[in-house]
Amino acid sequence: MAKAHILVVEDEPDILDLLQYNLEEEGFQVTTAVTGEDAVYKAMTLHPNLILLDLMLPGIDGFDVCRTLKGDHKTAGIPIIMITAKGEESDIISGLELGADDYITKPFRPKILIARVRSVLRRQSAAVNKDNAPKAIANLFIDPARVDVKVDNQSVSLTATEFHILNFLANHPGWVFTRSQIIDSIKGSDYPVTDRSVDVQIVGLRKKLGSAGHMIETVRGIGYRFREE
């Protein structure tokens, strides 16, 4: 398999060196950029497999880079992992809503970083359209075509909205979604959903799922994700 090519965007030299060193140790090909402009240019010309993007950059910042790349069909498919300062939940939410795929907070442990990179690359290669395929995840079974959910082989009766939320999250294990991304995903469903009511839906959903309820994880301050196996 060819080496995955990673574009690392970070203006702090020490962190950039650390990222580059650890990624190269793991066999990745690394290109670096220290400004947002340079990041956009290199992403457009080199088409890396993944971008590690610091949000706080001089000139155009990481949000602008993310917006530009996710808004251009040539680069929209390149996964982006944001690098953020600890405790900046609002930045993480903004980034996810601009289309970033995941995030890691500084300071990070290299092992965690590498695991995150591999996981996003894996998701990318598995991201074929399987939204309607039946899924079995541990003791949970979801059949979207039949709108059927079973836990330990017992049918679970969900509302349309609960089903949409479960199926949406389960289609992207490991991905964190903000409440408004979850709402967007179920537009067209006939149930009115507000930010707050997403929380209520999740509470109800977990309860009905019983022993499988823990698969829907709360990401504090950000939103929800389906547990990655």
Point out which residues bind Ca ion (CB under 5 A). Answer: 11, 54, 56
> Least distance to Ca ion from the beta carbon of 65, Å?
12
Question: Whose Cβ is closer to Ca ion: residue 52's or residue 176's?
Answer: 52
Measured CA to CA, the distance from residue 118 to residue 44 in angstroms comes to 22
- Give 54 or 162: the residue with its C-beta nearer to Ca ion: 54
> 87: alpha, beta or left, given left = phi > 0 and alpha = psi -120 to 50?
left
Closest approach of Ca ion to the CB of residue 18, in Å: 13
The residue with its CB nearest to Ca ion is: 56
* Amino acid code (one letter) for 55: L
Distance of alpha carbon 37 from alpha carbon 86, whole angstroms: 25
Three-state SS for 60?
coil
Element housing 217 (H / E) = strand 216-219
C-beta of 30: minimal distance to Ca ion in Å? 17
Q: Which is nearer to Ca ion, 43 or 170 (CB)?
A: 43
Q: How far is the CB of 86 from Ca ion (least distance, A)?
A: 13
Minimum CB distance to Ca ion smaller for 11 or for 89 = 11
Is 72:96 a contact under the CB 8 Å cutoff?
no
Q: How far is the CB of 75 from Ca ion (least distance, A)?
A: 21
- Identify the CA nearest to 127 among candidates 79, 181, 63: 79
Nearer to Ca ion (CB atom), residue 84 or residue 201: 84
